Every structure is written in C-alpha cells, then in structure tokens.
Amino acid sequence: MIYCGIDWAEKTHDVALVDDTGHLVAKRHITDDAAGYKILLDLLAEHGDSEENPIPVAIETSRGLLVAVLRAGKRKIFAINPMAAARYRDRHSVSRKKSDPGDALVLANILRTDMHAHRPLPDDSDLARAIAALARAQQDATWNRQQIANQLRSLLREFYPAALEAAATWANGLCRPEARELLKTAPTPTKAARLTRAQIQAALRRAGRQRGIEAEADRLRDIFRGDYAHQPPLVEDALGKQMLALVVQLEAACTAADDLAKAVEEAFPQHPDTDVLLSFPGLGVQLGARVLAEIGDDHTRFADARGLKAYAGSSPITRASGKKSSITRRWVKNDRLNHAGYLWAFSAITASPGAKAHYRRRRDDHGDWHAAAQRNLFNRMLGQLYHCLQKHELFDEQTAFPTPLAAAA
C-alpha cells in the first residue's frame, strides 16, 4: 500500500510517497499548473495507482484545481487540518524544525498510521458542488453588504443623522435603493435641506419606487429640513465624499448579493434533495441551499445523525477529568452551517407549532437562554433532516413533534 502526502502552496507543491513501513519511496517538487499535475499523476501511476486501486492522498486544503484533478475517479482525498498536521509533526521531532518536503512526508504518514480516524472528502455530485459554490458566494456577499452598511451607518452618525432617520422606517434600511439614491443626490445634510419635493420624488422614482411617492417625499422633506447639528462646511464636504465612496461599494455589494441569490434560485430546485429540504419549516430557497452546500448530497458522509450534529456544532461537548465535568457548546465546527442553523431555528419557531413548543419548553422547563434553546432546537431538527434525507421523506409535523397524550386528552 502506498500513501501520498502533498504540501501545497501558491506556486509549487511538494509530494511524498511512503509505503506500509513508512519508508519514503518517492518525492517530487511540482509546479501549480497542468504540467505539474501531469507529473504528479504519472508519479502516482508509476507506483501502482489505478482506477481500481487508487492511491489515497492527504492535503491541507479541500479546494483548488489540484484537488479537482485528484478527485477524478474513485481516489480518496483527505483534507487534513493544518493544526492537526502540526501536532503530528511534533510526534517525531522536538526541535520544531519545519520544511515543505517534511510536511509532505508528515501528511503521507498520517494516512499510513491513522487513515481510519480521518474523514475523506465527500463524494458529492457536480450539481451539489455547484450549488455550494453559489450558496457560499451569496452568503459572503450578504455578509459583505452588511459590513459596508455598518460602516456607512457609522459614518452617517458623525455628520448626517437625518439620513439615518429617513431610512429608519424602511426594511433593510441603508441597503434600500431609495436610501442609496437619496445619498447620491444629496451627499451632505446641507444639500439635503435644499432638496425640493420634486427632486425627492424624482430620486425615489429612479430608485424604482412606484407607490406612495408623494407622501414619502413629504416625509423625507420634513426630515431633511429638521434641526440638526452640522460639521464645519469643509469637513462636511470631505465626509460627504467619503460617504459617496462607501455608497458605491454598498451598491456593488447589493448588486452582487441579488445576482447570486437569483443564481441560487435557478440552481437549487434542480437538485433531487430540494423537496426534502424545503418541506422543513423555516427553510427557504436561500437557507436550504446553504444547508445543502455544507452537508452535501453524499448520504454516506456521516455514519449517523450524531456525526452531522457534531459537524454543525449543535450538539454539546462533554469535558471530564476526574471528579470534574462540564458540558459546553462546540467551538470547532462548520461555521457556515452553524450560522445557517441559527437562522433556521429562529424562523422555525414561528413557522412550526411543534418547534415553538419545543423552544418554549427549553426556556421554561430547562432554564435555557435564548441562544441555547435555539441551538437545542436546531440540534433536534438536524437529526430529523438526517433521517428524511436518508429515507427521502418529507417533513411531517406530527411525526417530528408528536402531541403529548395528556395535552391531547
């Protein structure tokens, strides 16, 4: 049996092959291009790699062209956490020496000694991986949009409080097209105070508003002409230019988030697991796509529901030593899935009577705080999702949250 370890970098990679005894049988330094990938595949074939008996590979990443090339066929790819690789490195050297060829050898030996303790990359379909790329990009764009909106809000507090008051009643606040158009029309409070009713109405129409334009223009005109403190004129103009730069970034972030959301809406319904995911209360297209992106469609990835719960960080972890023990939440987890689970549980409370009753029971009977009760609800619904995906069954409210006999009586 031959095991392969690859220490990857931006431009070059170091490859090491070891046998069952830990003897280094081959090593190579390859470039990160098609020629380098061909050298790697030829090296693996030279040492017995075939379609029926592929050589397993350990690498410290799960993305990139190199991983895509290696995943072709039935080869198992093990994405080893760099922190875990560092601990393995210390097993054989106390001097803390480090080199790229040495790291490749360490990764190969990880598979030789402990391959059973590491999980290979899931065998997800191309459609699931495409949905994952879109869902993660849309999630990143949403976070980026909120970050820029927070920066813009912080800046407006320094010199333009009227803009914050004007956008306070709108859903999504400063991310609304009306808010961005008004800020571009009047970048300073002095200019906003000079806006006429017709100019405000024109700005609202350019932003796409079609109803209630006259009443909204009157409200905005009264706000802009209110009594506010002002920065010195030169400082106000400078802050206005800074604000316009942030508005341009916010507009680009909003456009990216909306475009990626449309792409997710087109790709997600094509997957065969979509009907199962959307049958759960609190899961819509965007949130369901995020959940599918992180758990994949390889139903053999997790041995049982407990593995999925631990991966999502919803199940508690017990630390015990002697007479002392503590039960805490998990810190090492899939952060994207955990974040989606928080939103899922929050929405399920209002969409499912059983979920709401479970949440209230955790709060009232067990004394959980809000976040702990939501995490417990997410943990339960994640187990139900695992079962439904394995059996390809739709969510059933009565089966998921059966009515107690006493309450029914």
pLDDT tens for each residue of 109-120: 999 999 998 889
| Residue 192 CB partners (closer than 8 Å, separation 6+) | 160, 162, 163, 182, 186, 224
Q: Give the CATH number of the domain where residue 91 resides.
A: 3.30.420.10
| 300 and 210 housed in the same domain | no
| 297 and 220 housed in the same domain | no
Length of the chain: 409
| 66 and 156 housed in the same domain | no
| 134 and 262 housed in the same domain | yes
| 404 and 294 housed in the same domain | yes
pLDDT tens for each residue of 36-52: 999 999 999 999 888 88
- Rounded distance between C-alpha atoms, residue 19 and residue 26, angstroms: 10
Q: How many domains does the chain have?
A: 3
* Domain's final residue, options 227, 248, 266: 266
| 9 and 107 housed in the same domain | yes
pTM tops 0.75: yes
Query: Which residue has tokens 């062209």?
Result: 65
- Rounded distance between C-alpha atoms, residue 41 and residue 46, angstroms: 9
| 33 and 157 housed in the same domain | no
| 8 and 86 housed in the same domain | yes
* Domain's final residue, options 236, 266, 296: 266
- In terms of Cα–Cα distance, which of 344, 349, 355, 346 is closest to 283? 344
| 347 and 385 housed in the same domain | yes
Q: Distance from first CA to last CA of the chain, Å, rounded?
A: 64
pLDDT given at position 263: 97
| 95 and 148 housed in the same domain | no
| 156 and 261 housed in the same domain | yes
| 324 and 208 housed in the same domain | no
DSSP code of residue 231: -
Q: Which residues constitute the domain of residue 201?
A: 130-266
- From first to last of the 409 residues of the chain, give the pLDDT tens digit: 899 999 998 899 999 999 999 899 999 999 999 999 999 999 999 998 888 889 999 999 888 899 999 988 888 999 998 888 888 888 777 777 788 888 999 999 999 999 998 889 998 999 999 999 999 999 999 999 999 999 999 999 999 999 999 999 888 889 999 999 999 999 999 999 999 999 999 999 999 999 999 999 999 999 999 999 899 999 999 999 999 999 999 999 999 999 999 999 999 999 999 999 999 999 999 999 999 999 999 999 998 999 999 999 998 888 888 888 887 888 888 999 999 999 999 999 999 999 999 999 999 998 999 999 999 999 999 999 999 999 999 999 999 998 764 455 4
* Domain's final residue, options 266, 299, 324: 266
Measured in whole angstroms, the distance separating CA 170 from the mean position of its chain's CA atoms is: 27
